[in-house]
Amino acid sequence: MKDIRDLKRAFRRHRTAVVAATSGALFVIGWLLDVVWALGAASSAALLVGALVGGYDIAKKAYYTLRTGTVGINTLVTLAAVGAILIGEYWEAAGVVFLFSLGNYLEARTMGKTRTALKELLELTPDTATVRREGTTVEVPARDVEAGETVIVKPGGKIPVDGDIGEGESAVNQAPVTGESAPVRKTPGDEVYAGTVNQEGALEVVATGTGSDTTLQRIIRRVEEAQEAKAPTETTIERFAKYYTPGIILLAALTYLLTRNVVMSLTLLVIGCPGALVIGPPVSIVSAIGNAARTGVLMKGGEHLERAGKIDLVAFDKTGTLTKGETAVAGSEGFGYDAEEVIRLAAIAEKKSEHHLADAILDAAADLTPPEDTATDGGAVVERPAVPDPDDFDVAAGKGVVAHYGGHEIVVGNRALLDEHDVDVPDAVTQYVREREHAGETAVHVVRDGTVIGAIALRDELRESAPGVVQALKDAGVRTAMLTGDNERTAQAVAEEVGIDDYRAALLPEEKQEAIRSFMDEGNVVAMVGDGINDAPSLATADVGIAMGAAGTDTAIETADMALMADDLERIPYAVSLSKATRLNLFENIGIAVLTVGLLLAGVFTGYVQMATGMLGHIGSVLVVILNGMRLLRY
């Protein structure tokens, strides 16, 4: 009984292949019986059975599509096969059905191959995890690990959860998730992802994401959704096919009325199938999305992929995109005050700010004044912060902060903020700020009770890859722009160093969004590159939003049109060029399909194409567009 059930499951799993093989075998047998042994009746019987075996599934699909009001490819083949049988052309009927069944099988196989990237991702997640529970280590299914538990990962083992390293150091191969080619050194406190490979030392990982709530699983869900989402070209072709297929039936009917040639009319039904036209675009889209996923670029769907193929301008956020996002104090100058005192006062004002410049100032203050130890009444030693909290604190978006401490007002910010507070800026301060900004640094003023007491210069190092990425985009015919909240001089210095075509400086978040709109109003198809969170309005406004460093970031993975899993600028030219190659590939497949149908139709009316040869040409065109689309897997 079990053997029968196993046999049934195997048949269902390989039904398309079994049907195509059986239909083909009967077709060959029918040919041998007629040509070799001259057994006409037996040959006709074999060919008829072959047509019925292969045609059953085709007719069944035709029936269900007709019930939905759609006249599809299966309907055309069914009509052609039934018509051939009714006029006694068993050879043509069996041949058409066999070739169509074979085409369905090859199409399913090759479409499966275009989804290999998704299969590879699914195979990355370990089935089990070694967890420390109640003082002992136990092996449990990976999906049963709970957040907060400690997972032990041996050298060479796959990490089964998202988490932070508690103990141990090792190099981790993150290529499956981020696409990074080189292993990344991990130490306690660093984040690791499920599906990545621990290469050297043993690690203890405190789980933060488990089961379906890991970065890898979110990527898999997004790739599945993206590969199912239809591109505009696909949708257009499907709408066209709804009218084209009934049009072919009408053409066949008119041909019969005019010529009384049944075979010609049935042949028109066969060769008029828009198979290559319908299958070509999905293969291209799925192949491109799969290829991108393997290299750490997550495409949201065919619509965004196809739109990205039209990109002619890429706008970059500066901080954390063109730069490393690791701002540090490059220098400070006091004007009537000690430079270190300037940094201390600025740190007090910035203590509660979440801006990256505030972090840099606080780090500099910590280096100047280490924490002090203070003994409490109970004799216990506690740590007192070196930088005290301000008495009150207010943020001026895009300009700086205003705080009060010890009865003094402290203002830290740019010239616009000082102008708002009617603060006079001495020439010496202006000269210092100008020099630092010409060097590509950001300078902020420090004001105490209405008097400028100093300025702090901050620098965010450019990514080494930035100039090469900008040049690669230019070589691809894509213009570049930079949007930044920095002042004009700093923005100009960075733009010139990187090679950016255009830049917009001193922009507030909403002004960055307006800049994107202005680029689009000029007729550009614009991509915006940012971190996916701070630049969310601009990313949403652009034709294509590209979020960098999205690994582990739910927001970026779910909302970006494209997400670069690694913090790697060099993926951007690849993503843009892949999108352009995909768009070209789509047009190639449409051209192949249309040309094939045109040539076959001409062949039918001139008498050079018969029913079986027409179907062979049709199947050939389907395979050609599939193979052409699959080239994108190796782009």
Q: Is residue 184 part of a domain?
A: yes
Q: Where do runs of H (alpha helix) occur along 499-635? A: 509-521, 536-541, 554-559, 571-606, 611-630
- Both 333 and 447 in one domain: the answer is yes
- Both 61 and 100 in one domain: the answer is yes
The single-letter code of the amino acid at 530 is: G
Domain termination site, one of 440, 459, 478: 459
Q: Is residue 362 part of a domain?
A: yes
Question: Look-up: residue for tokens 């036209």?
Answer: 277
Burial 444-478 (b: 16+ CB within 10 A, else e): bbbbbeeebbbbbbbbbebbeebeebbebbeeeeb
Question: Is 625 in contact with 107 (CB distance < 8 Å)?
Answer: no
For residues 47 and 30, what is the distance between their CA atoms, to the nearest angstrom?
5
For residues 327 and 311, what is the distance between their CA atoms, to the nearest angstrom?
31
Tokens read off for 490: 């700093």
Domain termination site, one of 459, 475, 502: 459
Question: Domain range spanning residue 571?
Answer: 305-319+463-578
User: Of all helices (H) and strands (E), which one includes residue 44?
Assistant: helix 40-67
Q: Is residue 221 part of a domain?
A: no
Among candidate residues 327, 379, 389, 332, the one with its CA nearest the CA of residue 357: 327
Which DSSP state fits 231? P
Residue 573's CATH number = 3.40.50.1000
Tokens read off for 533: 């969170």
The whole-number pLDDT of residue 314 equals 97
Q: Is residue 121 part of a domain?
A: no
Predicted model pTM: 0.75
The whole-number pLDDT of residue 380 equals 45
**Mean pLDDT of each 10-residue bin along the chain, 635 residues long:** 69 85 93 87 93 92 87 84 88 85 77 62 78 90 92 91 92 78 85 89 92 82 72 80 85 92 88 81 87 85 89 91 85 91 93 83 80 44 64 87 93 92 93 89 92 92 92 95 86 91 86 92 93 72 85 62 85 94 94 92 89 82 88 89
Q: Is residue 293 part of a domain?
A: no
The whole-number pLDDT of residue 271 equals 82
Q: Is residue 290 part of a domain?
A: no
- Both 390 and 434 in one domain: the answer is yes
Kindly list the strands in the beta sheet with 197-198, ordered across the sheet, starting from the edge strand earlier in the chain. Answer: 184-186, 170-173, 197-198
The whole-number pLDDT of residue 384 equals 39
- Both 454 and 508 in one domain: the answer is no
- Both 90 and 238 in one domain: the answer is yes
Number of domains the chain contains: 4
Question: Is 306 in contact with 582 (CB distance < 8 Å)?
Answer: yes
Domain termination site, one of 578, 597, 626: 578
The whole-number pLDDT of residue 3 equals 67
Instruction: Give CA separation, 452 vs 334, 381, 435, 441, 459, in Å.
Output: 9, 38, 17, 19, 21
- Both 6 and 108 in one domain: the answer is yes
Q: Is residue 499 part of a domain?
A: yes
- Both 512 and 455 in one domain: the answer is no
For residues 352 and 359, what is the distance between their CA atoms, to the nearest angstrom?
10
- Both 95 and 237 in one domain: the answer is yes
The whole-number pLDDT of residue 345 equals 93
The C-alpha angle with vertex 63 and arms to 62 and 65, in degrees rounded to 5, equals 65
The C-alpha angle with vertex 500 and arms to 357 and 465, in degrees rounded to 5, equals 70
Question: Is 551 in contact with 193 (CB distance < 8 Å)?
Answer: yes
- Both 336 and 445 in one domain: the answer is yes
Q: What is the set of active-site residues?
A: 317
- Both 209 and 271 in one domain: the answer is no
The residues near 254 (Cβ < 8 Å, ≥ 6 apart) are none
Q: Is residue 266 part of a domain?
A: yes
Residue 374's CATH number = 3.40.1110.10
- Both 498 and 510 in one domain: the answer is yes
- Both 112 and 253 in one domain: the answer is yes
Adjacent-strand bridge partners of 444: 456
